[in-house]
Each structure stands twice: as structure tokens, then as C-alpha cells.
Structure 1
Amino acid sequence: MRMVFLLDPRPGMWDRARPMTTQKDIARRLGVSPSLVSHVLGGRGEQIGAAARTVARIQRAARRLGYQPNAAALVLRGRSARTLGVVVKNFDDPYLGQMAGELHRLAQAAGYALMLTGCGAPPAYRPEPAPLLRFRLDGLLLAGSDVADDWFAPFARQGVRGVQIGSGPPVAGMRRVCTDEAWGMAAAVAHLVGLGHRRIAFIGDGSGAHERRRQALVAALEQRGLRPLGGRARAGTRGAAAVEQAVAAALAARATALAAGDDETAQRTVRALRDRGRQVPRDLSVTGMDDIPSARLTIPALTTVRQPLGDMVRTAFRLLTAPEGDERAAEATLVLRPQLVVRESTARPRAAAGRERNGKGT
């Protein structure tokens, strides 16, 4: 069964259970005709010659009574229902709370309601369009990378704008806002090399995101004349088992630094190393990717590459809600640069640090 949640951020919508205020209610309260209220709230008060004082009085009453236009009626009149659909790839993703919070703030400020649904099971992660097709959406946001790429067509036929926040195979008909992952991984490599590391391994599984980031790591190392070490899990292995396999391979290759495919993998890596009697960063350095909220709470706090989540959500929201003809809304893909965040999980290699303490230099 597919679930669709209505997240309506407009003030007063859920203060208490009560019937919705109608235009007739406002007319009765003010002692004016319903047609006058309809014209004023429809933005046509001046056209019919309504006095400015009367217009202001009706508008104040509408705000005080918590009036909200009926979405179906707006659509019938050819106007926007001010409703956006949001498809989340994975509700277990730590980014969901941050993304939903930023979307809520933007929607509240602009007067939009949000319709929220999810995707099918992995590995396909296919969104189910049927629940959202029951609503007249002004735009549709896909939150997540590497989902099925052929599901948006029914919305495109209805003229619904679509924007994906994420990477992977493009979804036909949708624009995209994503992070420059290659730049981010190159920044992590530059940091590790700057500390003195030359034996660097990637820790990850075979997922699309991890494979892209592994390739970015390989390219960044090769640009510096370095060879990536073993650290990949067997094909089809996911989660903790993948990390265990990758960490074992990296240790066997005598790596001094481990670059994880994401922060959750980095946290699992720190745990796997501790279980083997290795301390981070004394014995090995570890980096993550994304900067999820718990990254700064890990012991040690993770050095990672921060995704510009706020900028990504704001950019996607602008693309969805920009007026027709806005040239900025026609851009197919917008790539934003991430930021390296240096914390406690990286340090000089143990051998180099030992030489430095003994006065032998590097």
C-alpha cells in the first residue's frame, strides 16, 4: 500500500479541529455580499470598484479567521493550487529531516502545501506515481539519487515541473540539482595527502553513489601519481558486512587512510577498526562524505565533505516555483560545490608522526 502524507505548512491549518472558514463565513461576519468577498480575495477588488478600505477590511478578516482558498476551486478557475509533491527515495536517509525542514520553511514563506510519498523497495527504488496523480500538483521534487528513470512521464504530460535533488542516471523530464562529488572527493584526497598519507583506500559497497565516489577517488589519486589500495566489498554486499569486507581488504593492503563512500559507512568503519584494536586517527585516518547530523557527534568527530543541502533545496524550490519564462528555471542541471569539513578523524600517518616526534622530520 502506498502512503501519501499532506504536509501543509501554512499557519493555523492544524491549530485545532474546526470547520474550514469559507468566503460565506467572512461575508456573514462583515455584513457584505459573498460575491464581494470572492472578488476581493481573488485579487479583483479594484477591478469591480471596491473601496480600498473595504478591501483591507476583508483581507484582515480572512487572515484573522484562517481562511485558505479551496485547492479544487482554484484549479477549476485555472489558478495554481500551490501544492508541491515530494518523493523521498529512502525514509531512513539522515538527510530527510534536514531536507523536510528546509522545504517546510520555503513552502510556508511562499504559501505552498507539500504532498509527501516514497519509493518502492531497493534496488530499483521505483517511485509509484499513482497516489500523487490524484492531485493537481504545481511541481514535483524527487529527493534522492539512483532511482528508476522512467516514472515521471505521466506528470510531464500534465505539464508538471520536476526537479531531482541527487545524482545517478537522469530521470526523463526532470531537471536536476546535484553536488560536484568529484570535487569533494578530490578535496578529501588533498587533505589526506597534505597530512602525509600515500596509502589510501576507498571503503564502500557497489551502490551507484559509492561507485561514482570510488571512481572520483581513483582519479584524484592518479592525478597525484598515487595508486588506490584495495578496500572494496564483494559485489552485492551491503551495510555492515560490506564495511567489514572492505576494511579487512584495506588493512591487508597496509592502508593508512580510509575514504568512505558516505558518513554512515565512515561511522561503521570507525567501529570496525575499533573492534580490531585500531584507533582513529592514531592508527588510521577516516573521512566521510555528506556531513549528516551525527557526523560531528561520532567519536572521533568525522572529517567529511559537506553537501550544500540548504542551497540545493533552495535551488530546487526556485526551479519548481519560478514564473513561466524565467530563464533560470530552464537549466537542465545545476551542480553545486561541496565543502571539506576537517574534524578529529584525520591526522598524520603514525610512522610520519613518530619520526616527527623523534626529531627526524619527514
Structure 2
Amino acid sequence: MRGARRGEGKDSVPVRCSGFGPRVCFARVLHFGVPATLERVKALVIQENVPLAPMTTFGLGGAARWFVEVRSEVELAEGLAWAAAQGMPVFVLGGGSNLLVPDEGFPGLVLRIDIRGVQQDKPWSPEFFVGAGEAWDSFVDVAVDSNCAGIECLAGIPGRVGGTPVQNVGAYGQDVSQTIRQVRVFDRHRSELRWLTNDECRFRYRQSIFNTDEPGRYVVTAVVFQLRYGPPTLSYADLQKRFSARWKAPGLREVADAVREIRRSKGMLLVDGDPDTHSAGSFFKNPIVNAGLLGTIAATAGVAPEAVPHWPAGDGRIKLAAAWLLEHAGFVKGFTDGVVGISSRHTLALINRGGATFADVERFEQRIRATVEAKFGVTLTREPVVLG
């Protein structure tokens, strides 16, 4: 594997600053010490033909033709400028926990975001400025240890902080959109660093401006979370049941640990040697359909409408449980199809049983979607992102 270096020069990308105060006027190296303007470019290490499978939780797919580990906003801007000069496509990689890599790999430049740093606005403040490359679960621990509530139910989720606003990550009654105040981004259209407010992110169920309205335009470099001092959230039935026999309300740490244990029991924590955990998490989104379809679905399954798990979704629509649809279409926990299958602990987790290819997963996905649609008239949507 060869490496190329690109240093300072007259062709460095020009970047404007705008927006919300002094942080925007610098490409901060998010170890929170050394600001650097984007014109002061450091040498960039560019690698060739780097395998991507080890960088994903699914563990499959080909290689990146070019690859850069990005540790600062300076390196991000320079990497994007280098790719633009070569006329090549770019993909921004975070923790790889919600990603499928095609078998042929990626013909352009993959930038893996490793911008680190966690900073409280003040020692007593529940506001945190977090680099996009920080491990999400580690930040949850920082928040919990600081007695700050708002993300304790999101413990145990793999991936990095920068990916959470993209998918509007959520679980057990909490979504990151409830606590995100601002998202710091590099705008590739305008070649500038800027802040996006919560409203500008256009959050909705597992969606945001980053993966729907303007995919590829923004690269997340940091996120500001506005947490709160107070009790944990216990709106989810599994959590309520765990603590129902207690006379004393649980604390933040107890809830975070309970969530991790629930995720572990469902195979949703990555564990070496456990094929149930070699997945991209929930593979299908919970579908939102017209409420009038509920009776038909129930009749097809041979149950009463109230036995079909569903929740109001507004405008005469309901949200269905994708896991229930799979199970009633014959795709139960532990179902196998050659080298791929369904986790023995979580119906929505499609898994790599060993040696699977992207083509294997894609065929299995299509089989499930076709069966569910033929039986219930419901179209399932993939949750993980396909590189490229």
C-alpha cells in the first residue's frame, strides 16, 4: 500500500466562515487547544486500496481506492479539495455501524472522520461540544457521569457522534433530535464551515437534511448537545418493566446500564465471536402507513387489530413494527439463508453468518421485502446506508 502526501500550497481550498460566533471563524482541531485557519494546510496522508470491511460492523464489502483518516477540520477541507481536483467521488465514513459496502468497493476517496474532543460549555453546564469522531457510547457515559439526562436511553448504540444527527438516532423513547442544539458542518456546496440549528436539520423519524433533503452536501464535524439535569426517561415498556418493582426511581447510570443489557440480550452490542452482532443494527425502518390498512393487515395475520403493534403517526397514519411484519411473514429470529440470516435475538437484525458478500445480503433483503409486500401490502425501507 503506497502513501502520498500533499502539503501546503497555493491550490489549498478557500473556505469562508459565517454564522454563530467565534467557533465558526476557525477550523478548530477538536482537541480544544489549537485553532487553525483552513488556509494553513498540514500534510495529508492518502492511502490506496484500503479494505473497508473491517471498518464496518457488518464486516463485508470491498476496498476504497483512496482513503484518508481525517483528524481535524483542516484535513477534511484539504481531503475534499484533493478529491475535487482529481474529479473523483467522495464518501464520508463514520463508525461504520449503519453501512453496507458493495463487493466492488468504492472507486473514489473515503474520508473517515476521526475528529475528537468533548467539551462542556462550563463545568456546571449541561451543554456539550463534541467532535464527530468521538465514539457515541463513550459520550453517553460522559453525560451520565456528569449527571446530565437526555441520552441515557441511547447507551450501547455503536458508531460515532457525527452519524447520530444524520439518522436522527433513537431508541427506548429518546431521539438525538430532542437534545441536539446545533450541528457544525462543512458545506461542500459553499466551501465553508457553518452551524445548522436544530430546525435547520429538519429532523424526523430516522431522517434529517443530511440523508434526505440534501444528502452529500454537509459533512458533520461536531455536534452541540443541550442536555438537562434531571431524572432519566422511562417511557419505554421494557425499561418500565425492569424498574417497576423498585420503590426508588432509578438513576441515570442504572438506566444506561439497563439499556445496554437489553441491547446485549438482543444481540445489538458488537461482541467478538458472536455472529448475531455482525449486523448493521435494525435493517428495516418501522413503516408508516394509512391507518385504514390496519384492519387488512390484522385479518391477513388472523389477529384482532389491537394485536398488531402500532402507534399514531399523525395525518391519519400509523407506524407499524417492522419486526412484527417480518415474523408474521415467516422471517423469525434465527432464520438462515446460506451465509446470511436473521439474528437469533433480534428480528430486525440481518446478520453476516461468516463469509457473506454484499450480494448475499442484497438478495436476502429483496426476498424479505417482496414477501412482506405480497402478504401485507406494506413496503419496507432499508435503514443502513449503501456506500456509493
TM superposition score normalised by structure 1:
0.28
Structure of higher CA gyration radius? 1
Give 1 or 2: higher helix fraction.
1
Give 1 or 2: higher strand fraction.
2
TM superposition score normalised by structure 2:
0.27
